[in-house]
Amino acid sequence: MTVRTPSRHPRTCSLLLAVFLLLLSVQVGEAAAEYDPYKVLGVSRSASQAEVKRAYKTLAREWHPDKNKDPKAEDMFIKISKSYEILSNEERRSNFDRYGQMDENQPFGQSQHHGFRGFHNSFYFDESFFHFPRSRDFADSKYLLHHAQFNSDVLPDSHKRPYLIKVTSEWCFACIHIEPVWKETVQQLEPLGVGIGVVDMGYERRLANQLGVHRVPSIIGLLNGRVTLFHQAVVREHLQQFIEDLLPHRLVEKITDNNYLAFLDSWQVENKPSVLLFDQVPIVPLLYKLTAFAFRDYVRFGFVDQGDPQNTRILQQFNINTYAPTMLLFKEDTEKPVDIIQARGMKRQIMDEFVSNNKFLQVPRLVNQQLFDELCPVKQFHRRRKYCVLLITGEDQAFLPSNKAFLDFATANSKEVLRFAYVYQRQQQPLCQALLHSQVSLTPQVVILERRSQAGKVMYRSVNGGWNGSEEDKYRLHEHLELLQKDPAYLSSDATLPELNNEMAPIFIIRWVNAACDYILQIYDDLLYSNWREMMPILSLIFSALFILFGTVIIQAFSEPGENKPQKPKPKEQSQTEDDASSRTSTSSRPPKKDFVEVTELTDITYTSNLVRLRPGHINVVLVLTNASKNALLRKFAKEVFSFSGTQTLHFSFLNADKHRHWMPSLFHSASDATDGLSDEDDESSDYTGHVLALNGHKRYFCLFRPVFTGDDPNSSSSETSFCDRRKSRSRSRSSSHSRSRSSSSEDGSRPKRASSRATSIEVHHKLDKLGLWMERLMEGTLPRLHVPVWPSLDETANTCSMES
Each residue of 202-217: pLDDT tens digit? 889 899 999 988 888 9
Q: Cα separation of 218 and 164, whole Å?
A: 11
Each residue of 574-592: pLDDT tens digit? 444 344 444 443 333 344 4
**Does residue 217 have a cis peptide bond before it, meaning omega lies within 30 degrees of 0?**
yes
Least confident of 28-42, 370-384, 401-415, 687-701: 28-42
- The per-residue pLDDT of the chain, averaged, comes to 77
SS3 769: coil
* pLDDT at residue 781, rounded to an integer: 86
* pLDDT at residue 238, rounded to an integer: 92
What residues contact 520, with CB distance under 8 A and at least 6 apart? none
Each residue of 290-337: pLDDT tens digit? 999 999 999 999 999 998 888 999 999 999 887 889 999 999 999 999
The pLDDT of residue 683 is above 50: no
Predicted confidence band of residue 230 (pLDDT cuts 50, 70, 90): very high
* pLDDT at residue 753, rounded to an integer: 39
The pLDDT of residue 789 is above 60: yes
Each residue of 415-447: pLDDT tens digit? 888 999 999 988 888 888 888 876 666 789 999
Per the document, the length of the chain is 805
CB 206 within 8 A of CB 103: no
Q: Cα separation of 38 and 40, whole Å?
A: 5
Give mean pLDDT, residues 351-375: 92
- How big is the CA angle at 232 (ends 230 and 236), to the nearest 5 degrees? 90
Each residue of 139-172: pLDDT tens digit? 577 899 999 999 999 999 999 999 999 999 887 8
Each residue of 385-425: pLDDT tens digit? 788 999 999 988 889 999 999 999 999 988 888 999 999 98
Q: Taking Cα atoms as reference points, which of 210, 209, 181, 185 lies closest to residue 196?
A: 185
Predicted confidence band of residue 673 (pLDDT cuts 50, 70, 90): low
What residues contact 437, with CB distance under 8 A and at least 6 apart? none
Of the CA atoms within 13 Å of residue 171, those in its CB half-sphere come to: 10
Each residue of 610-622: pLDDT tens digit? 787 788 888 989 9
Give mean pLDDT, residues 27-38: 60
Whole-number CA gyration radius for the chain: 43
The pLDDT of residue 49 is above 80: yes
Q: Which domains does the chain have, with CATH numbers?
A: 37-99 (1.10.287.110), 147-246 (3.40.30.10), 253-357 (3.40.30.10), 369-496 (3.40.30.10), 600-675+687-709+763-787 (3.40.30.10)
Q: Cα separation of 203 and 193, whole Å?
A: 27
Give mean pLDDT, residues 718-730: 42
Q: Taking Cα atoms as reference points, which of 347, 251, 335 lies closest to residue 301?
A: 251
Q: Cα separation of 590 and 593, whole Å?
A: 9
Q: Taking Cα atoms as reference points, which of 529, 792, 607 lies closest to residue 683?
A: 792
Give mean pLDDT, residues 775-784: 88
Q: Which residues of 646-682 are buried (b: 16+ CB within 10 A; e: fewer)?
A: eeeebbbbbbbbeebebbbbbbbbbbbebbeebbebb
